[in-house]
């Protein structure tokens, strides 16, 4: 089992030490439990993103710095969930960064965004994890946003988590509603990690 996330390693590892591998900062930092690391080397400046984050903090938002194994800055997360009135101003700045070529991950329906120092690619990270871990059987990927689409396409079984967001943009084959996710995972465990669409709470797309 591996974890593919927008969070950085220092955040996610203590919460998932059972995993065989982690693809953090949306794939910019891949690490294995045996100590091997695969981190993007060519990183751009995030000075503009930090300026937007500082503006957001003045308006009540929260900033998350995503760092690699040497402390290098891989991404800047901005969360204005607790300051919804700041969303419009932060959104305008983020769209300006995107137009200038920065790697901005931002869904209009959400109240948070990430800006990365290189192009994030969860699909590339999934390919790397499968290769380095010698994964030969079918792989499942579980995600909840359009940012997961490249990873969905790399997995033989793609399961989206529906939590009120528009799901028509998710390139997955199946959906599980978030309140039922824990029950689905327990059922998957009880079936020896052998997925079938007949497992409880699984909905096939288009049905």
pTM, entire model: 0.92
CA distance linking residue 86 with residue 121, whole number of Å: 28
Question: How would you class 189 by CB atoms within 10 Å of its CB: exposed for 0-12, middle for 13-18, buried for 19 or more?
Answer: exposed
Q: Which two tokens stand for residue 177?
A: 């509603």
DSSP bridge pairs for 75: 66, 116
The ranges assigned to domains in the chain are 47-116, 137-207
For residue 164, give both structure tokens: 């009120």
Could you tell me if 116 and 25 are in contact, meaning their C-beta atoms sit under 8 angstroms apart? yes
Contact status, residue 150 vs residue 125, Cβ threshold 8 Å: no
172 vs 136: CA distance, rounded Å: 21
Asked if 143 and 172 count as a contact pair (C-beta separation under 8 A), the reply is yes
DSSP the chain: -EEE-SS-HHHHGGG-TT-SEEEEGGGTEEEETTS-EEE-------HHHHHHHHHHHHHT-EEEEEE-TTS-EEEEEEE-TT-GGGHHHHHHHHHHHHHTT-EEEE-TTSSEEEEESS---HHHHHHHHHHHTT--S--EEEE-SGGGHHHHHHSSEEEEEESSS--TT---SEEEEGGGHHHHHHHHHHTTT---TTSTT-EETT-
Residue 134: burial class (beta carbons within 10 Å; 0-12, 13-18, 19+): exposed
Question: Would you give per-residue pLDDT tens digits along the chain (207 residues)?
Answer: 999 999 999 999 999 999 999 999 999 999 999 999 999 999 999 999 999 999 999 999 999 999 999 999 999 999 999 999 999 999 999 999 999 999 999 987 889 999 999 999 999 999 999 999 998 889 999 999 999 999 999 999 999 999 998 899 999 999 999 999 999 999 999 999 999 999 999 999 865
């Amino acid at each position: 089992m591996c974890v593919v996330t927008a969070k950085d390693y220092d955040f996610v590892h203590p919460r998932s030490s059972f995993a065989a591998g982690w693809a953090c900062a949306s794939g910019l930092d891949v690490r294995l439990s045996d100590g091997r690391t695969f981190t993007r080397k060519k990183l751009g400046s995030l000075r503009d993103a930090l300026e937007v984050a500082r503006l957001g903090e003045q308006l009540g938002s929260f900033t998350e710095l995503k760092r690699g194994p040497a402390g290098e800055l891989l991404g800047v997360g901005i969360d204005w969930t607790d300051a919804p009135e700041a969303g419009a101003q932060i959104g305008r700045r983020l769209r300006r960064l995107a137009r200038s070529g920065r790697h901005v991950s931002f869904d209009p329906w959400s109240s948070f965004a990430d800006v990365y120092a290189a192009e994030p690619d969860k699909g590339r990270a999934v390919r790397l994890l499968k290769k380095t871990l010698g994964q030969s059987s079918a792989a499942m990927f579980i995600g909840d946003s359009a940012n997961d689409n490249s990873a969905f396409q790399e997995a033989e079984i793609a399961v989206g988590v529906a939590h009120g967001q528009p799901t028509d943009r998710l390139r997955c084959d199946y959906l599980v509603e978030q309140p039922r996710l824990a029950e689905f995972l327990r059922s998957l465990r009880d079936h020896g990690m052998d997925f079938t669409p007949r497992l409880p709470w699984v909905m096939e797309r288009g049905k």
